[in-house]
Amino acid sequence: MPHNPPYIAQIAIDRTSSTPLHAQIAEPLAKLIEDGAIEPGTRLEDEVSMAERLKVSRPTARRAMETLTNRGLIVRRRGAGTQVTPTRVHRPMALSSLNDDLEKSGVDPRTTVLEWEIEQAAPGVAAALNIPVGSDVVRMRRLRMLRDEPLAIMSNWLPAGIAPTRDELESGGLYGRLRERGIKVAVGFQQISARLATADEGRLLNEPTGAALLTMQRTAYDEQHRAVEFGMHVYRASMYSYDQTVLA
């Protein structure tokens, strides 16, 4: 068997302790992950190898890994192994662009435009944008990457006359491209919720089908109170959260 990973030395199994063995494994690993000693993206060995190294049963090692998974500290994927959860994005509850927020935090995001089509506005989209049903709109669907990890799938509808091109969206954020057109987003109404990933979303986000996703639906308006964007986004709950300050 290869040399022990460095984190194994931090796990001390005491069979005389009243603390369950799975907790004696999970808690030291959780502390190392939370303190940054085990960096985001680090691959951990599988539960079979861990059980052999620590001289515990496979169900014990499996329960320890499940504890870390349930706390959002690791992700486990069939065929890809176990990995410390990649860097989380903590985003303020504000009217802003995800691309702008990531750039301000020092991260260089990447975007793949999955779809960009001109279509006639369906009733729901027309109502959100306050335009006649059947008006030309651009429907875009983008995959936002944080370093090499997929973070979000963003679907947006904009009036065709103001929508950025596909090439423009590959190299910049939506709100930034609108600003270049003299359109400043001034106010937005949004709903935050959660649901489970579909098979297609799981494939794109590198998550299993049924994984937890955060969702955001937003209609944004410019300084003239015109609706300029209707969006429906999904984010990996393992990497993404909203922060909000509340007052008594």
Domain 89-243: CATH superfamily, name plus number: Chorismate lyase-like (3.40.1410.10)
Say which CATH architecture domain 6-84 belongs to: Orthogonal Bundle (1.10)
- The pTM score is 0.63
* pLDDT for the residue numbered 93: 47
Q: How confident is the model at residue 244 (pLDDT cuts 50, 70, 90)?
A: low
Same fold yes or no, 6-84 and 89-243? no
Maximum C-alpha span of the chain: 73
* pLDDT for the residue numbered 71: 75
Arithmetic mean of pLDDT, 3-18: 81
Q: How confident is the model at residue 131 (pLDDT cuts 50, 70, 90)?
A: very high
Domains of the chain: which residue ranges? 6-84, 89-243
The C-alpha angle with vertex 193 and arms to 187 and 199, in degrees rounded to 5, equals: 120
Residue among 111, 126, 216 nearest 164 (CA): 111
